[in-house]
Structure formats: structure tokens, C-alpha cells
Amino acid sequence: MAQKVLLFCDPGIDDSLAIIYALLNPAIQLVGIVTSYGNVNQEQATQNVAYLLELAKRDNVVLIGGAKSPLSGEFTPFYPEIHGEEGLGPIRPPEMIKEELLNFDTVFNLIEEYGPELLIVDVGRMTSLAIAFNLAGPEIMNTVQGFYLMGGAFLVPGNVTAGAEANFYGDPLAAEIVTTKVERGVIYPLNVTNDAIVTPTIIDEIVATENNPFQPLMKAIFDYYYEAYQKLVPGIQGSPLHDVLTLFAITNPQAFKYIEKKVFIGLTEETLRGVSIADFRPRAEEEPEEQTVAIALELDYQEFIADFINVMTNKLPIIE
Ligand code: BDR
Ligand code: CA
């Protein structure tokens, strides 16, 4: 049976490719998508998701309105130079918001409906998920199967500041609430997502199959994203698909090595904001009462790339 997933996201190019990956993967059943600010504003993120669902002819994935700003209420910058003005690189999605953008309490209805069959995946700023924890409390939230979180950078450079990764930096307090309240939580940080490099040659091979309606879009948004990454990381041969890797982990947990740690997140001062820290000293054993999460630290790249090509060349699955 396909894994039921409630996805929190902020599309964004790698978020969009992650949604496409999920829609093309018969082993994943997206039951809902919560759209929040992050790479673009929340309204634009919603429109982008509606466009992707329309391309897939999927009207059985509910769309839920998430946060428009971090918990602090401050403005955070968007990233048009990486994701494009509208979040889909050079593509402007048609004005076609799906009629029903459901209220946030739909999150709790889905948790009640699916309980331990539901996996929550967050590949954006963690504001909406933190609000869900604050509203419902950990007892209810932790009735789900678990939480996959894309964020952080442990003992490696950040991608927004020297030490911080974009999702944790965008709302560090939310990241702290989520990482300290989740049970069965797994973090996919830059340590592994920076390795999820997809090259233009691979995208060209996928697109040449003409197997599904996403492929022209895939090519356009990937090329934009790759051009941006070439400016960011001199000499890079492709682009890291952070959010796709997090979705890949759902059906391929064996492709990673994990370590259980308590996570701390910097909340103050620009240099520490969103910085993720865990105690990696060899002597450090977690106290049994400490709240830990699993952190993915190593990736089997060959498994990732083979699966990526396989899924992205699928025909659209028929979902009842
Ligand atoms: C994360 O930040 C976002 O901009 C990307 O979509 C991804 O979720 C990578 O740091
Ligand atoms: Ca994202």
C-alpha cells in the first residue's frame, strides 16, 4: 500500500520537483499539501501547487493554507534569484488557484483520519508545523507515523549564512519547536541534501522519454535552478535537489546512515540564527530522557539517482 503523506512546502523549484516526484511515484499517496511562505510568498506557493496538481489531474489532494510569515511576524526575504519571481524559474503558472483552499484545521482532520498511517513531511520553513504543534499539542501531533524534516546543517557550512541552512534560518523558533516536540522525527540536512546532485544530462535523458505531462516544466525549472547554482557554487556539475531527497527517503530509508541526537538551534544574533548543533563528541551518549531526532548524515548517491530517473520517467499513476 502506498505511504500516505501530508506535505508542508513552499514551492520553489526543488519543492516543485519534490511534488512532481511524489505525484509520479505510485508508492507515495499525497493526501494533502500545506502551502506556506518561504521561497516565495504563501499565495504564490499555493498557486504553484494548484498548477502542479492540475497538470497531474489530481483533485483528490487537499490544499491547505499555511503560514504567511515566521512566528516572529518579521518579513523574511524570498529567493527569486534561485527559484524565480513566481517560484517556478521562468514559468508563470496560469491564474488558476484551485477553488478550495482549505482552512488550517484540515491538518488535524487528516491526522485524525489517518493517524499512524500518515507521515508528515516538511520541506519548507517550519512555521506552519510549529503552529500545528502549538494548537493541537504534541500528544495529538505525535499520533502520526513520524516526521521527515528538510533542514539544518551539522558540522558543515550553511547555505544562507556561514552556519545556517535556509529552512531553519527562515524561522529558527519554529524549527526549534518542531525538532524538540516531534517523536519519530528524522532530519535531512544539507549534509545529505547537498549530495543529491542532479545534472543537466540526467534531466535531458528524463525529458526525452516524454512519458508524463511534467517533463517540459521539469526541464525549464531545472535549467533555471542549475544556472543559479552555478553562480552560487563555482564548478558545480548539477544542482542539489534538497526537497526531492527528503521525499526519496520515504521509500528508501536504507539509502542513508543516521545518528540519534538531541538538536539545538540558534535563535539569537545573526551569526547564530538558524544554526543547528548536536553533540557529536564520541563520548557523548544521549541521556535516555533526552528528546532526540534521527539525523541523516550519509547518502548512497547511486540509489538516489537510479530511483530519481526511474520515478521521473514514470507515466502518471492512476489513483482512485
Ligand atoms: C531548502 O531551502 C529552500 O529554499 C529549498 O526549497 C529547500 O527546502 C534548502 O536549504
Ligand atoms: Ca523548500
- Domains detected in the chain: 3-312 (3.90.245.10)
* Residue 121: other Cβ atoms inside 10 A: 27
* The pLDDT of residue 93: 86
Cα(59)–Cα(250) distance, integer angstroms: 23
Mutation choice for ligand 1 from 10, 19, 224, 241, CB with most ligand atoms inside 8 A: 10
**Which residues line ligand 1 at a C-beta cut-off of 6 Å?**
12, 14-15, 39, 79, 123-124, 150, 159, 165-167, 242-243
* The pLDDT of residue 289: 72
* The pLDDT of residue 290: 83
- 98's enclosing H/E stretch is none
| Residue bearing the CA closest to ligand 1, atom 10 | 166
Please name the amino acid found at residue 109: N
CA 1 to chain centre: 22
Cα(48)–Cα(32) distance, integer angstroms: 14
Segments in the chain below pLDDT 70: 96-99, 284-286, 319-320
Residues 29-85 pLDDT 10s: 999 999 999 999 999 999 999 999 999 999 899 999 999 999 999 988 898 889 898
* The pLDDT of residue 317: 83
* The pLDDT of residue 66: 97
* The pLDDT of residue 176: 98
* The pLDDT of residue 283: 72
- 80's enclosing H/E stretch is helix 80-83
Those residues whose C-beta lies under 8 Å from the C-beta of residue 78, and which sit 6 or more positions away, are 37, 38, 39, 40, 41
